[in-house]
């Protein structure tokens, strides 16, 4: 009986590990310490060539107890300089959106699929995404927000493992590892297409309802 239970726990842990959840999750250390250990690992990461090109890695910012997590694509120039996600022009717009939702930026958690800036802000490559994904899995599993908002095509398609265009994905609920997932347009897209801000606001209203309901 005991052996069976141990066997099924071991099987579960193996399954979690294979899907990218590392030993940090199963340590008995407090959540903030475990998250910091992952952050330290990221700051020395050389798992892909972007590690050699970065000024600073960009792990994530915000509350470890966040109910809402935003996941973007990859750091840009400003983020690479400061080591903080979404601090450039798109970041200022994201901050405005969060505040319009009646939430303080420091009460949500913000991170990206990639933790290092791709040269000239080019799109993330599949190898870079797979090298980096464990870090994000750890962040999501440690924070376990009530809602994840995928900012743009890369974050949404990667986490949902789906190739549907963001224009079709956005605005409806999906699920990521048991967490409600709302894809929406990336704030950098909104800077180029301000008319679509109203669609993002619709998506944010759905998120607010889910958080308050």
* Contact letters for ligand URA, residues 32-71 (x by CB under 6 A): ----------------------------------------
Q: What is the dihedral of CA 135, 136, 142, 148, to 10 degrees?
A: 170
Cβ contact 150:71 at 8 Å: yes
Q: Does 79 bind ligand URA (CB under 6 A)?
A: yes
Other beta carbons within 10 Å of 196 = 15
- Residues 123-158 as b/e (b if ≥16 CB within 10 A, e otherwise) read ebeeebbebbbbbbbbbbbbbebebbbbbbbbbbbb
Report the residue number whose CB is nearest to ligand URA: 72
Residue keyed to tokens 């009646």: 102
Q: Shortest approach of ligand URA to residue 15 CB, angstroms?
A: 30
Other beta carbons within 10 Å of 161 = 7
Longest dimension (CA), the chain: 61
Q: CA 64 to CA 32: how far, in whole Å?
A: 7
Q: Shortest approach of ligand URA to residue 7 CB, angstroms?
A: 42
Compare residues 38 and 188 and give the one whose CB is closer to ligand URA. 188
Which one-letter DSSP state was computed for residue 64?
T
Site size for ligand URA, by CB under 6 A? 13
Q: Does 90 bind ligand URA (CB under 6 A)?
A: yes
Q: Shortest approach of ligand URA to residue 117 CB, angstroms?
A: 9
Q: Interaction with ligand URA in 170-209: which residues (CB under 6 A)?
A: 188
Q: Interaction with ligand URA in 112-171: which residues (CB under 6 A)?
A: 112
Binding residue for ligand URA, selected from 59, 70, 86, 181, defined by CB under 6 A? 86
**Helix 126-143 to helix 31-43 angle, to the nearest 10 degrees?**
160
Q: Does 73 bind ligand URA (CB under 6 A)?
A: yes
Stretch touching ligand URA by CB under 6 A, among 59-67, 88-96, 177-185, 204-212: 88-96
| Residue 201 token pair | 């606001």
How many residues are there in the chain? 213
Binding residue for ligand URA, selected from 62, 75, 118, 145, defined by CB under 6 A? 75
Residues at the site binding ligand URA, with contacts judged by CB under 6 A:
72-76, 79, 85-86, 88, 90-91, 112, 188
């Amino acid at each position: 009986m005991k052996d069976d239970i141990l066997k099924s726990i071991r099987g579960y842990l193996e399954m979690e590990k294979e899907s990218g959840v590392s030993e940090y999750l199963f340590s008995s250390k407090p959540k903030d310490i475990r998250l910091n250990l992952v952050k330290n690992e990221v700051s020395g990461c050389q798992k892909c060539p972007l590690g050699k090109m970065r000024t600073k890695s960009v792990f994530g910012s915000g509350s470890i107890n966040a109910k809402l997590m935003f996941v973007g694509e990859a750091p840009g120039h400003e983020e690479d300089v400061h080591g903080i996600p979404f601090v450039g022009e798109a970041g200022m717009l994201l901050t405005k959106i969060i505040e319009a939702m009646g939430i303080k930026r420091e009460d949500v958690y913000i991170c990206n699929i990639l933790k290092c800036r791709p040269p000239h802000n080019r799109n993330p490559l599949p190898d870079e995404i797979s090298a980096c994904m464990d870090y994000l899995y750890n962040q999501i599993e440690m924070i376990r927000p009530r809602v994840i908002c995928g900012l743009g095509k890369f974050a949404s398609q990667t986490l949902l493992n789906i190739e549907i265009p963001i224009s079709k994905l956005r605005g409806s609920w999906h699920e990521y590892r048991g967490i409600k997932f709302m894809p929406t347009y990336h704030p950098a897209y909104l800077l180029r297409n301000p008319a679509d801000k109203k669609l993002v606001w619709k998506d944010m209203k759905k998120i607010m309802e889910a958080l308050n309901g």
